[in-house]
Amino acid sequence: MGMRSTFQTRHPGRINGSASQTMPPSPSSMWRLYIYIHTHAYTPETPRENCDQGSKLNKEDPSMASKLQVLAVLLAIATVMVPVAMAADIVVGDDNGWRQDFNYTEWASNNMFMLGDNLVFKYDRAIHSVVAVGGDDFRTCNVSNGAIKRFDSGNDVIQLNTTGKRWYVCGVVEHCINGQKLAIEVLPAMSPPPNSSTSNQVMSHAYQTLMAVLIAAMMI
């Protein structure tokens, strides 16, 4: 499970919770690379002497061909996994953390929250806290009678283990009124991203997985 600051995740990217702007290579380009590695085919764009050198290398080191085939297989598997989102730790507010006078509505709109993710609230526990509430109590900042669960560690990790809407406010009413409140919707793990920003987030996470597989394969 990786930290994401929203693909920065699913991450980060979904690392610390903001959407990555870097898109990974397309699956079609990955398959082209797979076919090249698997066949070592000579093409008109490839100088004949380069192919001859490659064949000579394989004869001198037979294990090289098998290593490349393993790499190709892993690459193909990783490519298939590209659309799959990964669970991640999402730091609420990114570098701003959990505080007053911050637009958590806008922050949440730029993030995707999926089943299995963790919300991480970072704050000064001498000043703030986190209270899970219902929708009506969220709107009125009712923390006295509407509290579902309270958190006050200063580094709360809350697992998103059910889908649907979630509401959180600071335990200090004045802070809640000043914007220290967060409403999110938890999506099923395989749910399509609701917008292009979160789509980039998903693809970025999968790309990180792909790169990890490639690095591991190159160390064989």
Distance CA 168, CA 56 (A): 64
Tell whether 160 is covered by a domain: yes
Distance CA 73, CA 159 (A): 34
Tell whether 32 is covered by a domain: no
Tell whether 129 is covered by a domain: yes
DSSP class of residue 131 equals E
pLDDT at residue 119 greater than cutoff 50: yes
Higher pLDDT, 50 or 146: 146
Residue 7 near residue 193, CB atoms below 8 Å: no
Higher pLDDT, 199 or 215: 215
Tell whether 181 is covered by a domain: yes
For the chain, the distance separating the N- and C-terminal CA atoms, rounded to the nearest angstrom, is 24
Query: Stretch 134-159: mean pLDDT, rounded?
Result: 94
φ, ψ for residue 125, nearest 5 deg: -70, -15
**Which tokens belong to 74?**
């892993």
Residue 92 near residue 111, CB atoms below 8 Å: no
Give every CB contact of residue 140 below 8 A, 6+ residues apart in sequence.
Answer: 146
Structural domain span for residue 153: 97-193
Query: Stretch 113-124: mean pLDDT, rounded?
Result: 96
Tell whether 9 is covered by a domain: no
Q: Give the domain CATH number at 162.
A: 2.60.40.420
Give the CA diameter of the chain.
79
Residue 119: helix, strand or coil by DSSP? Answer: strand
Tell whether 82 is covered by a domain: no
Q: Give the closest residue to 87 by CA, choosing from 20, 167, 217, 187.
A: 187
Higher pLDDT, 208 or 4: 208
Q: Hey, what amino acid is at 19? A: A
Strand (E) or helix (H) holding 196: helix 196-218
Tell whether 177 is covered by a domain: yes
Q: What is the mean pLDDT of the chain?
A: 73
Q: Give the closest residue to 201 by CA, choosing from 29, 15, 30, 76.
A: 15
Domain count, the chain: 1
Query: Which spans in 6-134 are helix H?
Result: 27-39, 48-60, 62-80, 104-109
Task: Quote the pLDDT of residue 189.
Answer: 81
Query: Stretch 38-45: mean pLDDT, rounded?
Result: 48
Tell whether 111 is covered by a domain: yes
